[in-house]
A and B are shown apart, each in its own frame.
Chain A
Amino acid sequence: MEAHSLSWRRFLWAPLLVTILLLVPPQAVFFWMSLHRQTGTDGLTLDNYARVLTDGFYLGSLWTTVWLSLVATLLALLAGFPTAYILARTRSAWISALIVLLLVSSFVTIVIKVLGLSLVLGRQGVVNELLLALALIDQPLILLNNNIGVVIGLVQYTLPFLVMLLFSVIQTIPGSLEEAAELHGATRLSMFRRVVLPLAMPGLIAGSLIVFNLNMGAFTSAVLLGGGRVLTLPVVIQRKILLDVDYPIAATLATLLVGVVFLINVASALLVRRRAAGA
């Protein structure tokens, strides 16, 4: 029996090594690049960081990225949580079919999804046609080539994941707790606020962080729905590499992006721990 388990462990080294090789060296190379003024020159320098962190353009790009990611995360939560709740609490044969549909929709390549959005959100797209026909607006809304389009794209991409994640979170909350709350006098709203929300909170925070991280690194939505006007950090990085062929600055920006995301996640985790300890 012991020999059996030992040989199993030996097998795990291979995938671990592959993962490390695919993950760490490229990041390390990028970080190394960011410390040089030009690729190939020697002399470690923090000049690139100084340039980036004092340039309004780059800082603005960073701020845009964070802001859009935040808004998209909140919108996804607002749409996703009630959906997940209804899916989790309804007893019907349709539910599994809907979950499968959700899962399948998340397999569709992002480029195709975003392309579809760009058709739907255009000046003569379905959304505008519908709103005009209902006389809710008299001029077509500009939903593309701006922040709005990008946010819509981000939400569309992350929503299925969030719903499925929150679905399993809510399933861990026994239905008897909700029944007990209502029976002892709570309105549906009160029950939600006092029982469901607190118990779902860890899952909500974890899900939100995952969605936020995805949004921060999102590239396709920003490029295809931003029309070249929404310059999030990933877009700027791509331009630096392909147009300006400026690897050091690109590397600096990439490291900055990773660093900011990392810091935000750590800060959130600490905040959660402090709230849990204080409770």
Chain B
Amino acid sequence: MAEVRLERITKQYGQHKVVDEVNLDVADGEFLVLLGPSGCGKTTTLRMIAGLATPTSGRVRIGGTDVTATPVRRRNIGMIFQDYALFPHMTVGENIAFGLTERRQSRKQVEARVRELLELIRLPGYEARYPEQLSGGQQQRVALARALAYSPALLLMDEPLGALDLKLREAMQIELHRLQRELRVTTILVTHDQEEAMSLADRIAIMAEGHVQQVGAPEELYRSPANAFVAQFIGKVNLLPGTLTALSNGVASVRLQDGSVVNAAVNTLVREPLAIDAPARVSVRPERLRLARGGAGGRIAGTVQRRRFLGNIVHYFVRAPWGQVLLVEHGAGGEPFAPGADVTLDWKAEDAQLFGGSDF
């Protein structure tokens, strides 16, 4: 069990920085998820923690010790690879025992430990089977058992659930969460699936273009995203473009493209400089928007383009006066709005957040 610290970790190929001065702290026993789109540097970061890639600069510390120069096999970590990397010519038992036999444990000890682990992953008696005889979900559990066999200080997972179908993925998420809680092993998981991140993580570190955009508990990231990228990546969001007209006491006034002026809260985490008359965006989550019959009241007018019934919720695609299509989420119980209906959109002041006009 150990804490992990990344100090200004950088990975550079020629001029291109895949990972750019990343600082990260993972507490002992914490489940941290590295989340981001393809190419953001999350897998490279994980591989540098594992020792499978060497940082161009920066330090990796596991349990307080600088392991940047330590070879892979001495870092005492377990890892699940994206393709599971089970040894096809070895049985399930031999796969799980691989790390133990490398550490020269006695045969009896090894056998007992393998049995214990097979119980843990709910595959008792599978010692003699071969990986090719197992289903995807079973292979994944064997890979997990192999990684945990010698009780490593750190468990790493590289998109482990990507190849599984939805139902199986959800079941495995519950399994992983349960096991991590039970064993209290520091875990770092890489994924591009934000729902997976939200359901598993104690904290999420969102990455894009080699940088960590924000680190925090799932709820924190959802309610107070540091920039528009985070807001868009976690959950759905509407970004209304406009111009900043006033700014005081953490509240901004923005003139939208139909001329109306709305207020938006300024997140203290937002780092971009905000100048008067500069382009800005107001972000509101779909579930915070309220549709009402057209007429007076509400902040902006709109026309319903489409209604999607999703069982427990209803999605409305509403066309704003300036052409942008906004997403509104209602509970299934309310009055339905038909396509073509004139509506007004309203939201509570505290549910709107201000972002700069640029991409992030």
Contact surface of A with B, Cβ cutoff 8 Å: 174, 176-177, 179-187, 190, 194-195, 198-199, 279
Tell me the B63-109 residues at the A interface (CB within 8 Å): 71-73, 77-79, 81-83, 85, 87-89, 98-99, 102-103
Looking at chain A's contact residues, the main secondary structure is helix
Decide: A177 near B85, CB < 8 A? Known: A183-B52, A183-B79, A186-B73: yes
A187 to B72 CA separation, bound complex (whole angstroms)? 9
B50 within 8 A of A: yes
**17 residue pairs bridging A and B, Cβ less than 8 Å apart:** A179-B72, A179-B81, A182-B71, A182-B72, A182-B73, A183-B51, A183-B73, A183-B77, A183-B78, A184-B146, A185-B73, A185-B98, A185-B102, A186-B73, A186-B102, A198-B89, A279-B89
A185 to B50 CA separation, bound complex (whole angstroms)? 12
Task: Name the B residues within 8 Å of A279 (CB-CB).
Answer: 89
B150 within 8 A of A: yes
A199 to B90 CA separation, bound complex (whole angstroms)? 10
Task: Name the A residues within 8 Å of B147 (CB-CB).
Answer: 184
Apart from the given pairs A179-B81, A180-B87, A183-B77, 4 other A-B contacts in the complex at a CB distance below 8 Å: A177-B87, A183-B78, A185-B98, A195-B87
Is A185 in contact with B81, judged by CB distance below 8 angstroms?
no
Closest Cβ neighbor of B83 among chain A residues: A176
- Distance between B345 CB and nearest chain A CB, rounded to angstroms: 50
Is A184 in contact with B89, judged by CB distance below 8 angstroms?
no
A186 to B74 CA separation, bound complex (whole angstroms)? 9
Tell me the B213-250 residues at the A interface (CB within 8 Å): none
Which of A176, A194, A198 meets B85, CB within 8 Å? A176
- Distance between B131 CB and nearest chain A CB, rounded to angstroms: 11
Closest Cβ neighbor of A184 among chain B residues: B99
Tell me the B172-229 residues at the A interface (CB within 8 Å): none
A55 to B255 CA separation, bound complex (whole angstroms)? 107
- Distance between A15 CB and nearest chain B CB, rounded to angstroms: 37
Task: Name the A residues within 8 Å of B99 (CB-CB).
Answer: 184-185
Nearest 5 interchain pairs by C-beta: A185-B102, A180-B85, A184-B99, A176-B85, A182-B72
Which of A174, A177, A179, A190 meets B102, CB within 8 Å? A190
A185 to B72 CA separation, bound complex (whole angstroms)? 8
Closest Cβ neighbor of A178 among chain B residues: B85
Task: Name the B residues within 8 Å of A183 (CB-CB).
Answer: 50-52, 72-73, 77-79
